[in-house]
Structure 1
Amino acid sequence: MKHQTYRVYEAIKLDPLASQQALAERLGMSRESVAGHIMQLTRQGYILGKGYLLAEQNTYVVIGGANVDIHGHSTDTITSHDSNPGTISQSPGGVGRNIAENLARLGEHVHLIASIGLDQRGNWLIEQTRSTGVETHNILRHDTLPTGTYLAINNDSGQLQAAIADMRIIDTLDAQKLSQKQALLQSAYCIIVDANLSCDTITWLARQTFSAQLVGDAVSTAKAARLRPILPKLNLLKVNQDEARAILGSTETDPKKLAQALLHEGVDEVLLSLGSQGVLYFSAEHGQQTPCHPTLPISDTGAGDALLAGYLSACQQNKNLDDSLSFALACAAMTLESPHANHPELTVQNVTQWIEDL
């Protein structure tokens, strides 16, 4: 940052609501010159909006899916083509949203960019997300499409019998809308992209030049291949084996070879989930498999989202690789032991204590 621009930046930090004329008089500069420096600071991501909202350090920005999960659980053997007694519950969901919530619960400053309907379900979803500490003012509201909804029916053993996913709204999160968030994206410490986004949107993100670390989550086997255009830009990619094969167009069964192939495509670090076998970490310098912590799973929903958030949080805590992977797996294990997609007590202190109690 040039000296005069830095002077303007420091003056705004002291008085964010000062007018351009007041800043000019204080700095002995012309109002036009101050305006030029403010424009430059905005383009570079140091200023985020009106009132000279300044960018915070170590900010995460998550771009991806946010939806409402509705689960029906039959209390008896399901009878097809008939009404079945049971329970119905509603909870916040969506890979991007889940990652954002986990990061916020772990003490990170995180913004969520997602498309949500202008409806009551959307209002509820935003309020639930905001209450966990996630910054939600960059969420985009759509006035015609409903909030994304996942409707699942489980039998009396908890096994999925059928589901309907109405996620049409995610495709409205396009390049034009994201370009309006350039200041936030330019100021971010880390940008997390999930594969719920359309191919066109991910391709647009791949063409941008961000100073932030770029992290990808493959989401599912059906959507993972959407990340191909952005692979050379990714500092970190979280996948499972099926998702890795989908991205690579491969039938390879050796997880180490899958991870190495992703590195060959330009990814700096790979977190390859092995399910009950733990996680495989690969980079140009290291390759190691870390087993899962012992746990009594209740639901596997959201465990992968917690794994990624836990790893990012551990790196932010400057933990070494072994401790980072252990912390990430503990976040996943705690989530497995919870009936919710996000463990409501997921904090650095609680995760650390959980590991110590093993």
Structure 2
Amino acid sequence: MTDVLTFGEALVTLRADRPIRSGGALHMSVAGAEVNVAIGLARLGHRARWVGCTSRDEFGALVLRTLRAENVDVANVEQAEGPTGLAVFESRIADVTRVSYHRSGSAGSRLTPRHLKAPLREGARVVHMTGITAALGHGPLRAVRTAVSAVRASGATLCLDVNYRAKLWSRETATAALRPLAAQADILVASDDELALAAPGGTVTEAQQVEALLACGVREIVVKRGAEGAEVFNASGAVARPALDVPVEDTVGAGDAFVAGYLSALLDGEPIDRRLERAVTLGAFAVASRGDWEGLPVREELGLVHAVPGSTLR
């Protein structure tokens, strides 16, 4: 059985070495929230499967080649019509990165419930999904809803990362789609400004939102607080963990790395405090290196982040 099954859109990323309007070189790689999580888990020795639709173009070939090289199971990936979605990154000020997407009509948006039928039947210990997939169109949203129903019936652990993207949908549309899904999740992951998108209506404060989600049956609510660390709420109370203070190279992908660390420790049977420790550790690896996932560690390297000069708990 697969440890973690995840699904969504894989993108090819183009990173500019200076402002795009000034010209210059672009470095090409592969990313996508679910892809990043799958790679992070595979590097730590877990069996990770990613399901999606890739283009028949050469960018699609790069996606598959990269995932295979990172030991991510792509047995259920299907080639589809449409181009590969592109994400273009350019650094602007300090660690602020501007991102522009070119993904309209992409092959990745062709995902439907049909693509998940076989992998869901084969089973996984954890099924991980994000709000990004739900925002890609009618077919992907139906795939998310189908997966939620199947996971609830199977007894696997369902993890939902809100991962709101304003360029894909409005907060109002996201709220309408995500609230019913969040209420069925075992683990809900959200940044502190995303929690309202998932919490039942009528809740205003974070405490009210957490209480309402727990009352719906959510087992763990993981709130990401960026440079301030993270906190997990469950029926027993709350556990907080500060972030690791490391030199920041690139913040893109840090949230996905955090999720990969949290799920890795969950799969290892670790308690919440140890899950948070591994989550902030992978987040630190992500921000201390360039790229979405390229700097993420293998298991033997988890302790390296503490050897970085000046790295401390905030």
For the aligned pair, the TM-score class normalised by the smaller chain equals 0.7 to 0.9
Would the alpha carbon gap of residues 214 and 333 (structure 1) be closer, same or farther in structure 2, given more than 3 Å must change? same
Match for residue 76 of structure 2 among 110, 119, 138: 138
2:11 maps to 1:60 = no
Distance 1:275 1:315 in 2: 21
Once the two structures are superposed, residues 57-91 of structure 1 have per-residue CA deviations (whole angstroms, 9 ceiling, x without a partner) of x521111221111122326xx7xxxx513221111
Alignment of 1:148 with 2:103, yes or no, is no
Matches within 5 A, 1:327-342: 327-342=278-293
- Cα deviation, 1:189-223, whole Å, max 9, x if unaligned, reads 11111222233222222332223111111122546
- Contact 2:200–2:212 (CA under 8 A) maintained in structure 1: no
8 Å contact kept, 2:14–2:26: yes
Q: Which residue of 1 aligns with 2:189?
A: 238
Return the letter of the residue paired with 1:213. T
Q: Indicate how the Cα distance of structure 1 residues 353 and 153 shifts in structure 2: closer, same or farther if over 3 A, else same.
A: closer
Task: Indicate if the aligned counterparts of 1:299 and 1:337 stay in contact, CA closer than 8 A.
Answer: yes
Report matched runs for 1:141-220 at 5 Å: 141-142=79-80, 144-155=81-92, 159-160=96-97, 163-169=100-106, 170-184=108-122, 187-198=123-134, 199-208=141-150, 209-220=153-164
Contact 2:37 2:260 in 1 (8 A): yes
Q: Matches of 2:89 and 2:296 in 1, distance apart?
A: 25
2:179 alignment partner AA: R
Give the paired residue count.
293
Per the alignment, residue 265 of structure 2 pairs with 314
How far did 1:134 drift? 0.6
Q: Which amino acid aligns with 1:64?
A: G
In the other structure, the counterpart of 2:225 is 274
If you compute each CA radius of gyration, which structure gives the higher value, 1 or 2? 1
Supply the AA of the counterpart residue of 2:35: R
Counterparts of 1:182 and 1:84, CA distance in 2: 47
Identify if the C-alpha distance between structure 1 residues 167 and 350 changes in structure 2 by more than 3 Å, giving closer, same or farther: farther
User: Residue 254 of structure 2 aligns with which residue?
Assistant: 303
For 1:212 and 1:288, how far apart are their aligned partners in 2? 24
CA distance in 1, matches of 2:111, 2:58: 20
For normalisation by structure 1, the TM-score amounts to 0.74
Q: Which residue of 2 aligns with 1:105?
A: 43
Change (3 A) 1:269 1:162: closer
Question: How far apart are the structure 1 equivalents of 2:254 and 2:98?
Answer: 21
Distance 2:198 2:184 in 1: 15
The DSSP-based 3-state class of the residue aligned with 1:141 is: strand
SS at match of 1:168: coil
Secondary structure class of the residue paired with 2:245? coil
Give CA deviations for 1:156-214 in whole Å, capped at 9, x if unaligned. Answer: 76644562331533331112332244423xx2111111222233222222332223111
| Corresponding residue SS for 1:177 | helix
Q: Matches of 1:300 and 1:334 in 2, distance apart?
A: 10
1:150 partner amino acid: A
1:200 corresponds to which letter in structure 2?
R
**What is the letter of the counterpart of residue 98 of structure 1?**
N
| Structure 2 length-normalised TM | 0.84
| CA positional deviation for 1:306 | 0.8
Give the match for residue 16 of structure 2.
72
Amino acid at match of 1:139: V
Matched residue SS, 1:196: helix
The residue that corresponds to 1:12 in the other structure is none
Relative to 1, partners in 2 of residues 1:74 and 1:328: Cα closer, same or farther, differing over 3 Å? same
Q: 1:73·1:155 contact (CA, 8 Å) conserved in 2?
A: no
Instruction: Compute the RMSD of aligned alpha carbons.
Output: 2.5
- Could you list the runs of 5+ residues in structure 2 that have no partner in the other structure? 135-140
Q: Is the 8 A contact 2:128 2:160 kept in 1?
A: yes
Per-residue CA distance 1:17-69 (angstroms, 9 max, x = gap): xxxxxxxxxxxxxxxxxxxxxxxxxxxxxxxxxxxxxxx3x521111221111
- Give the gaps of 5 or more residues in structure 1: 1-55
Greater relative contact order (CA < 8 Å, ≥ 6 in sequence): 2
| Residue 111 (structure 1) shift | 0.7
Q: Among residues 320, 323, 347, which one is paired with 2:274 in the alignment? A: 323
For the 8 Å contact 2:162–2:178, the answer to whether it is kept is yes
CA contact (8 A) 1:151 1:164 kept: yes
